[in-house]
Structure 1
């Protein structure tokens, strides 16, 4: 008997790529499969391939297709699981795999609607798929979530991923969501595990992510006599030609040259440069792997299959399993104390504060005592922008929230801070979104505060885990944004994150927060790799 015979697996985004490879591996081992995705054609092709395997293995497994299902679409996902429930289908394994590249550009240039849609697909899609799947899961079932090592596998280890800000925010939150679900689903006997494959051979990396990253480098650094907007417009027309035949490339270059009124030679040189940089990115990443080999999609599928083993899953419940094999150099981005600054760096500074009304009053008063001039309007002359997220509201379990309640949390603790940061950047560097050259030597400070860790004498791991989902989004986002501000855009604009509270439940101290803000206004803070501060975590 095959290992997963009489088991049923559902894999999101299973029509192509890693999702297809995972589904194939399960079917080869006897499982029935539910394949779903947005496009019908690849799902039908996948189903045909899987049915051939079933026939060969004589496993009596079945394949069911749900096309037109975008995991960020509440109605589509809910309807799919309602249909499965009405057909008395029980799921043994759910694999959260669906994802998108999202905008591959500096956050200052990223459209906020694309930021939100990336978060919706990666994070909310994972959450809502998992919650709805509980309708058709019994004791012993497993939820396997695929994330990335370019975020935070553990809260104190940050790996910024320049040009991928919404992606890193989503993936960091997903890792912490895996942990929170393990606390919440234990009483149901359902296991939650995450795995971070790292670089994997796929068309998305070679044809989308790396070329787009190369394009963004050239938009920022410049190419020949083209302006940043001209570089972007040209790359939008020609980057898709990479990997095509010489004849197709030549025709595409000619068409783009006519459309943009640029020479074919310039566009040919630009495409060659994009290709060269993309290959360099790939090579640089591979040199951080001992054997310099990315994982194959089949290897990722084997990892997921292994994690779905009953004995292995019980051992690894709630864990994030690194599968990346990448020895990524990690700087110290987090500080767990109040930084000292002998100088009053807030004196005479114009400060704008928004967010949680309960916290604003005390923070405002303390800043004004240090000579800060708190304003109620976002003016171009403002030196410091502060946003207080407020705290996670009281509720029993994340997995018992309605979709509307979840969406409000994501909006408050992820989308709103991101919007605030981008709006603040636009005040510091007017026009910088379209012309990155304006960032050079520009200066400004942005501080996001919260959410706090829960306080009290007996704080459970589950209570902390709920908060960490959203802190887990903000941490890698903060490190990535700052890497872009400093290393890519060559500016002195910085966006810091202050996370009040302690793991042992002590009350947050606003004085620690304000003293940290005072330090963040110093030149020393601008040159440090530390961008995340936990000022209450002292012995």
Structure 2
């Protein structure tokens, strides 16, 4: 009798079908193994076939040992950001198992581990596509195969989570933090949308986890970026990038392997210098080896500092994260915490409070002579009017104005009294050209103000077509990221990308005016949750950019985020909004910690 009870407890997910993304290795594999031990059918998927085949063998052995009826289905070559690939996978899962009971959104990549000014557009987009769009589409597509009692568990990161007046930055990880912040808010939103269907959505931030991604990628690359920015004797910043690409991946390997990698890096550097004789290569090899050792030293310091923020000094193991996901998937537990982001990281990560409710209003004379570029991706009458009003006030105050609109030349008719352009904000070349044009015709750019406009808060994310989602990500993640990056580059002297020391002391302000809060007498929790998804992307992005600008690059350029509307559903106060935006553009908060402003939450 006791044995039968024990078996029933052990196989508590018997008959359930669990889809785990990114499950060929690491945390995903650990989660899949834990569910296999509990009797579930396991669906594993990922981009590479070999690790999935190996994982499938491990899972089948576990199922056999557990004595369950569980089965394993493998879907290799599936990228979570691939619309058709994910759709096809869930069709196959439904045909094989009838339905999906649990989806674990685990797939992720490190993304670029470097200052945002130095990350390519391609790297930025790939990171967001996997972490944010992959999470969204896996959930949205998988819901078609779910019934009452289903659960969506999303694994995020503790670095992007926020408290009332705080927002955690994560230096060198801007696309990652923007994605994770939006993921947390998306998980909350899905819980509201799916409540009537009896499907639950929970997110968890496990914090630092023992994994190759941290030890072999994130920490070493962060260390390399510190060295690229701070400098290393005998190597230029671009040469340190060669060391990062050629030698860093072999850190921790056998001595002869590391030595060869150092020589390969030294040979490339010597060739580019135009002096590739044996003596030069030998000397450079020693320099490269020294730089590599310094990177390892910094990486170990980063790890040690992070450990000190944990009460017992221990990172979680992958098995402990798997246990956490199992607990969140439990029927009773999921009911208790539905719609929450569970901070399981245990990390005490002190940060400066950067959220404010009011801006010190400066006199209009502070704008005189400043070159201000106003950009917007919205053609909505409300947003056109808002941009035009801000531009008019600034122009009267003596500022030199450039208006940049998104694609639609017809919008220029609203700005005949200004210097205006219509461009594609998704084109890096187009955005860089427009800032160069502004600088050539009007002088050094002092401030950039970007208006994102709003989106339809009545549209359900859980039923949203992929094309509509992609447009939202472009507008609220990709394009603000592009504009901020190119604005900072335009404010810095030529050559700053190659020599980051040139960013030191640079001046300027950038203001993102994000989507407004919902307006109305009775705002439901559902509408608030939808409105916060992309506001939730912009907040950690702002915090991370400012940390990199100030603490890493030593720049005096600052990024501000303004979020209009308030928690009571009142219409934004137009005069307060306009004066707040222009005061920030004039430098009102350059010397303050606050960077994120809820201007309509201030007391009148």
TM-score by length of 2: 0.87
| Counterparts of 1:154 and 1:507, CA distance in 2 | 25
Superposed, 1:124-163 pairs within 5 Å as 124-154=133-163, 156-163=165-172
Aligned residue for 1:81, secondary structure, equals helix
- 2:554 is aligned, of 441, 465, 490, to 490
| Counterparts of 2:164 and 2:518, CA distance in 1 | 16
Residue 181 of structure 1: aligned partner: 190
Residue 20 of structure 2 contacts residue 28 of structure 2 at CA under 8 Å; is this kept in 1?
A: yes
Is 1:339 matched up with 2:360? yes
After superposition, what is the alpha-carbon deviation per residue over 1:209-261, rounded to whole angstroms, capped at 9, x for unaligned?
Answer: 00000000000000002111111112211101111011211222223222322
Residue 200 of structure 2 contacts residue 335 of structure 2 at CA under 8 Å; is this kept in 1?
A: yes
Aligned residue for 1:447, secondary structure, equals strand
- 2:82 is aligned, of 63, 73, 80, to 73
Distance 1:155 1:117, change over 3 A: farther
Residue 507 of structure 2: aligned partner: 443
Residue 508 of structure 1: aligned partner: 572
| Counterparts of 1:87 and 1:284, CA distance in 2 | 48
Residue 209 of structure 1: aligned partner: 218
After superposition, what is the alpha-carbon deviation per residue over 1:482-509, rounded to whole angstroms, capped at 9, x for unaligned?
Answer: 1111111011111111111111111112
- 1:452 is aligned, of 512, 516, 523, to 516
Superposed, 1:41-190 pairs within 5 Å as 41-154=50-163, 156-190=165-199
Is 1:403 matched up with 2:424? no
Residue 393 of structure 2: aligned partner: 366
Residue 527 of structure 1: aligned partner: 591
1:479, CA displacement in angstroms? Answer: 0.6
| Counterparts of 1:442 and 1:330, CA distance in 2 | 24
Aligned residue for 1:118, secondary structure, equals helix
| Counterparts of 2:163 and 2:104, CA distance in 1 | 21
Distance 1:512 1:177, change over 3 A: same
Residue 484 of structure 2: aligned partner: 421
Aligned residue for 2:570, secondary structure, equals coil
Residue 359 of structure 2 contacts residue 589 of structure 2 at CA under 8 Å; is this kept in 1?
A: no
| Counterparts of 2:445 and 2:80, CA distance in 1 | 41
| Counterparts of 1:171 and 1:344, CA distance in 2 | 40
Residue 389 of structure 1: aligned partner: 452
Residue 7 of structure 1: aligned partner: 16
Structure 1 alignment gaps of length 5 or more: none
Is 1:468 matched up with 2:529? no
Superposed, 1:203-242 pairs within 5 Å as 203-242=212-251
Report how many aligned residue pairs link the two structures: 539
After superposition, what is the alpha-carbon deviation per residue over 1:137-166, rounded to whole angstroms, capped at 9, x for unaligned?
Answer: 110110000000111245643110000000
Residue 345 of structure 1 contacts residue 518 of structure 1 at CA under 8 Å; is this kept in 2?
A: no
Aligned residue for 1:493, secondary structure, equals strand
TM-score by length of 1: 0.97
Residue 374 of structure 2 contacts residue 448 of structure 2 at CA under 8 Å; is this kept in 1?
A: yes
Aligned residue for 1:431, secondary structure, equals coil
Higher alpha-carbon deviation: 202-211 or 89-98: 89-98
Aligned residue for 1:417, secondary structure, equals helix
1:86, CA displacement in angstroms? Answer: 3.2
Is 1:280 matched up with 2:301? yes
Aligned residue for 1:87, secondary structure, equals helix
Is 1:244 matched up with 2:253? yes
After superposition, what is the alpha-carbon deviation per residue over 1:398-456, rounded to whole angstroms, capped at 9, x for unaligned?
Answer: 11110000000010111111111111112111332232111011111111101111111
| Counterparts of 2:265 and 2:486, CA distance in 1 | 33
| Counterparts of 1:384 and 1:510, CA distance in 2 | 20
| Counterparts of 2:532 and 2:365, CA distance in 1 | 32
Residue 153 of structure 1 contacts residue 175 of structure 1 at CA under 8 Å; is this kept in 2?
A: no
Is 1:30 matched up with 2:39? yes
1:91, CA displacement in angstroms? Answer: 1.2
After superposition, what is the alpha-carbon deviation per residue over 1:23-59, rounded to whole angstroms, capped at 9, x for unaligned?
Answer: 1111111111000000000001011001111111101
Residue 314 of structure 1: aligned partner: 335
Higher alpha-carbon deviation: 338-347 or 423-432: 338-347
| Counterparts of 1:239 and 1:409, CA distance in 2 | 36
Residue 81 of structure 1 contacts residue 132 of structure 1 at CA under 8 Å; is this kept in 2?
A: yes
Aligned residue for 1:300, secondary structure, equals helix
Structure 2 alignment gaps of length 5 or more: 1-7, 271-280, 403-419, 421-433
Residue 8 of structure 1 contacts residue 31 of structure 1 at CA under 8 Å; is this kept in 2?
A: yes
| Counterparts of 1:169 and 1:224, CA distance in 2 | 34
Aligned residue for 2:304, secondary structure, equals helix
Superposed, 1:280-299 pairs within 5 Å as 280-299=301-320
1:88, CA displacement in angstroms? Answer: 4.9
1:334, CA displacement in angstroms? Answer: 0.7
- RMSD between aligned alpha carbons? 1.5
| Counterparts of 2:327 and 2:64, CA distance in 1 | 24
1:114, CA displacement in angstroms? Answer: 1.0
After superposition, what is the alpha-carbon deviation per residue over 1:334-364, rounded to whole angstroms, capped at 9, x for unaligned?
Answer: 1012334467422321211110342311221
